[in-house]
Amino acid sequence: MVEIGADGRTWLLSGPTSSYGLRLGDEDELLHLHWGPRIALADAEALAAGPGPEYWAFEATLDGHEEYPVEGGPRFVRPALSVRTPDRRGTEWRFEAYESEGDELRLRFSDSGLGITLHYRMREGTDVVERWVTLSNEGPALEVLRADSATWTLPLRDGWRLSQLHGRWAAESRLVRSELTYGEKIIGSRRGHTGHQHLPWVALDADGTATEELGEVYGCALAWSGTWRIAVAQLPDARVQITGGAGYDDSGLLRLEPGETFVTPVFAGLWSDGGFGGASRAWHAYQRAYVIPDAEQDRPVLYNSWEATEFDISEEQQRALARRAAEAGVELFVVDDGWFGARTSDRAGLGDWTVNRDRFPGGLKPLSDYVHGLGMQFGIWVEPEMVNPDSELYRAHPDWVQFQPGRKRTELRNQLVLNLAREDVQEYLWEQLDALLSSAPIDYVKWDFNRCFTDAGWPGEAYPQRLWVDHVHALYKLLDRLRAAHPTVAFESCSGGGGRIDLGIMARTDQVWTSDNTDPLDRLAIQYGFSQVHPARAMAAWVTDSPNTQLNGRVSSLRFRFVSAMAGVLGVGGDLTRWTEGELAEARTWVELYKKIRPVVQGGELHRLRAPEGGLSAVQYVRDGEVVVLAWLQAQHYGEPVPPVRLRGLDPSASYECLETGEVHRGAVLLHHGLRTGLRGDLDAAVIRLRRM
Ligand code: GLA
């Protein structure tokens, strides 16, 4: 809901529990008024009637109050917008008009032919404010050095604690909290993709007072899958602002010729007074309602052979795995890397998206038909944005990659990055992938991205920097086009595990590959971090072999591995041909159990009951009176009894029946005294289902 003040210069957006207010100052400064609990328009107007900014010689009182600080004038904060023409730098805007349409508010400003529109949208039924900016140039050509999507202003408090999700390959999305101090904290990626190093999300709670279920939490998440930056600044007067958008630095984002328009990605913000758990549930609900395609449909249990076979694949072997997967109850069988071109190792073949006939003599269709005959869907792996120098594509078009003339072409994993900003490259990929998806009944595509940009040059192009932004737009366009042409195909975003997870890619893919780390214990921490912002509905998790072959040799039971992976979209990724009949039968019972709890896990509300750092961790999902608790014990010490886990989100006056034991528990008891999990020893795990009576 958007409300407009009587003076036409005060605006208030409200969701179910929160409001966001702003006003225009006398000099057309756009000033922040309120972000927090829901207030009335009269409250916003009272705030707007307060004193306006004053200027001193050494401080700008505009700083920390503006909705979108442009460069120039009495401002010393990091500008959200920085533009230049050959003879001028910075912006001095005039307010033009506002438009309010449905749940969106648009404020239009202009400066010498450059139109700057700030968009605000509070999606129906959510407290998430989506913000973005449109630049439309009706004046002379100009260079956009920086164009953030939004600047967020927090209320004045004594101090703030910052939560972030940091990582690296095989160790993504690990939660870290630290006290914010004066100056700037910057996270981002200068790698061309979202990166394993940080999820584009931050959360802040005042004075470090929020807990999992209580307290005010502010969060922001960026919908962009390329290079990005979020700067959290504590200003000299202790005010905190967060500014973020596409591009890592201010050295040049794009050029806007006369008549051209640029729309920034969305930077979404959320206020919650339900603690970190409440904030996560609000993010999850927003993504299920407005971001993830067809989120109301549950994702199937998949099998992927990567860890079992790596590049050494053949049709016979895939058929054998498919038979075992079908026996285990798998619903989607995915052939990973190695089915195309000369791809028998990571040294060759990327770029040649035609089937390797030595390995699949009749193409993919016979295998796909076979898999469908076993009652499963069929999926394949691709990595379209890349090329191996040893490929037909590279031999034909060595100029299609990103490179700097006269410089080395850096190979990482023996591959180069295609310049997707080029229209001929876009067209080639569209033709190849469209033909591939038309060549066999394919239901699912795992879309990978296995190296960062390094030599992002574009010889002959007047403004080569634009490839950073154009690459992402081309990727989005290609995915949108493929989805439209092949509406029954589901897509997974992968980038060496979790290197491309953000609201931008999630709007175009059905799930994401959380991490190449499939160790069930490490995964608990990775999934705990992931769940801060993204829902289980999008979080792919596989059960692989024990000992863990990829990383650490850890030995764990099938029970522990399954219960760990059941916290998201369950998959199996072990070498099923080496699993005993007993193991396969056990796997089948876990998969059957998962199918029963799946609607609650994938579509329910998540409560993180205990964090994974302690010996005992647990999560709980609730949906329409159905409750699922997943609990894991890392190691029991000194023979001490494992404490019961206190449940959340239940009706204290209701009774709940345990579907495993038939026992009846009182809601108040589960909430205040907890539920016994029966866990003991090392690496034990349990699934407990309760139903409201
Ligand atoms: C990446 C992915 C893996 C696998 C390999 C294939 O590393 O994260 O799951 O698909 O590529 O080369």
Report CA dihedral (178, 181, 186, 187) to the nearest 10 degrees.
Answer: 10
As to burial, measured by CB atoms within 10 angstroms (0-12 exposed, 13-18 middle, 19+ buried), residue 689 is middle
Average confidence (pLDDT) over 261-274: 98
Q: What span, in angstroms and rounded, lies between the C-alpha atoms of 88 and 475?
A: 34
Percent of the chain with pLDDT over 90: 96
**Catalytic: 7?**
no
Q: What span, in angstroms and rounded, lies between the C-alpha atoms of 686 and 562?
A: 10
pLDDT at 59: 82
Residues in contact with 660: Cβ distance below 8 Å, sequence separation at least 6, in sequence order = 687, 688, 689
pLDDT at 580: 98
- Give the C-alpha distances (Å, rounded to integers) separating 467 from 135, 202, 383: 18, 27, 19
**Catalytic: 516?**
yes
Query: Which one is predicted more confidently, 99 or 52?
Result: 99
Is the confidence at residue 256, as pLDDT, over 80?
yes
Residue type at 426 in one-letter notation: Q
Tokens 């619903």 correspond to 331
Average confidence (pLDDT) over 229-257: 95
Structure confidence at residue 653 as a pLDDT band (50, 70, 90): very high
Structure confidence at residue 56 as a pLDDT band (50, 70, 90): confident
Q: In the numeric block, which tokens belong to residue 356?
A: 């390797």
For 106-114, the CB contacts below 8 A with 24+ separation are 107/11, 107/24, 107/30, 109/28, 109/30, 112/88, 112/139, 113/137, 113/138, 113/139, 113/140, 113/258, 114/83, 114/138, 114/139, 114/142, 114/256
CA–centroid distance, residue 383 to ligand 1 (Å): 9
Q: In the numeric block, which tokens belong to residue 650?
A: 């239940």
Report CA dihedral (49, 107, 123, 20) to the nearest 10 degrees.
Answer: -20
Average confidence (pLDDT) over 234-253: 94
The DSSP string of 182-248 is SEEEEEEE-SSS--SSEEEEEEEEETT---SSSB-EEEEEE--SSSEEEEEEE-TTS-EEEEEEESS
Is the confidence at residue 51, as pLDDT, over 80?
no
pLDDT at 58: 83
Domains along the chain?
2-290 (2.70.98.60), 302-603 (3.20.20.70), 610-692 (2.60.40.1180)
As to burial, measured by CB atoms within 10 angstroms (0-12 exposed, 13-18 middle, 19+ buried), residue 580 is exposed
pLDDT at 55: 65
User: What is the three-class DSSP state of 634?
Assistant: strand
Q: What span, in angstroms and rounded, lies between the C-alpha atoms of 75 and 62?
A: 7
Residues in contact with 20: Cβ distance below 8 Å, sequence separation at least 6, in sequence order = 12, 13, 14, 34, 35, 120, 122, 129, 269, 271
Ligand 1 atom with least separation from CA of 513:
8
Nearest-CA residue for atom 12 of ligand 1: 337
pLDDT at 259: 98
Find the catalytic residue in 63, 127, 516, 684.
Answer: 516
Q: In the numeric block, which tokens belong to residue 558?
A: 């099938």
- Give the C-alpha distances (Å, rounded to integers) separating 630 from 112, 275, 562, 687: 59, 21, 10, 5
Q: What is the pLDDT of residues 275-289, one digit of tens each?
A: 999 999 999 999 999
Average predicted confidence (pLDDT) for the chain: 97
The DSSP string of 95-111 is EEEEEEETTEEEEEEEE
Nearest-CA residue for atom 8 of ligand 1: 496
Average confidence (pLDDT) over 646-654: 98
Nearest-CA residue for atom 1 of ligand 1: 496
Is the confidence at residue 438, as pLDDT, over 90?
yes
Q: 369, 370, 342: which is closest to 356 by C-alpha?
A: 342
Structure confidence at residue 53 as a pLDDT band (50, 70, 90): low
Residues in contact with 630: Cβ distance below 8 Å, sequence separation at least 6, in sequence order = 563, 566, 567, 618, 619, 620, 685, 686, 687
pLDDT at 54: 65
The one-character DSSP state at 480 is H
Q: What span, in angstroms and rounded, lies between the C-alpha atoms of 449 and 484?
A: 22
CB atoms under 10 Å from CB of 383, counted, come to 23
pLDDT at 437: 98
Percent of the chain with pLDDT over 70: 99
Residues in contact with ligand 1 by the CB-under-6-Å rule are 306, 336-337, 381, 448, 450, 494, 496-497, 513, 516
Q: In the numeric block, which tokens belong to residue 122?
A: 């509070």
Q: What angle do CA 457, 460, 462 make, to 5 degrees?
A: 85
Q: In the numeric block, which tokens belong to residue 419?
A: 């310049």
Q: 48, 1, 51: which is closest to 24 by C-alpha?
A: 48
Q: What span, in angstroms and rounded, lies between the C-alpha atoms of 229 and 231?
A: 6
CA–centroid distance, residue 377 to ligand 1 (Å): 20
Ligand 1 atom with least separation from CA of 496:
8
Are 141 and 255 a contacting pair, CB within 8 Å? yes
Are 666 and 677 a contacting pair, CB within 8 Å? no
Are 313 and 359 a contacting pair, CB within 8 Å? yes
Is the confidence at residue 52, as pLDDT, over 70?
no
- Give the C-alpha distances (Å, rounded to integers) separating 593 from 98, 124, 301, 525, 687: 53, 35, 12, 23, 9
Find the catalytic residue in 448, 502, 510, 522.
Answer: 448
Cis peptide before 643 (omega within 30 of 0): no
Average confidence (pLDDT) over 508-534: 98
Average confidence (pLDDT) over 233-248: 96
CA–centroid distance, residue 265 to ligand 1 (Å): 27
Residues in contact with 50: Cβ distance below 8 Å, sequence separation at least 6, in sequence order = none
Nearest-CA residue for atom 4 of ligand 1: 306
- Give the C-alpha distances (Å, rounded to integers) separating 308 from 42, 358, 574: 63, 20, 5
Q: What is the pLDDT of residues 206-217, one digit of tens each?
A: 999 999 999 999
Q: What is the CA radius of gyration of the chain?
A: 26
CA–centroid distance, residue 310 to ligand 1 (Å): 9
Are 534 and 526 a contacting pair, CB within 8 Å? no
CA–centroid distance, residue 125 to ligand 1 (Å): 38
Q: In the numeric block, which tokens belong to residue 354?
A: 């035609």
Q: What span, in angstroms and rounded, lies between the C-alpha atoms of 199 and 189?
A: 9
Is the confidence at residue 69, as pLDDT, over 90?
yes
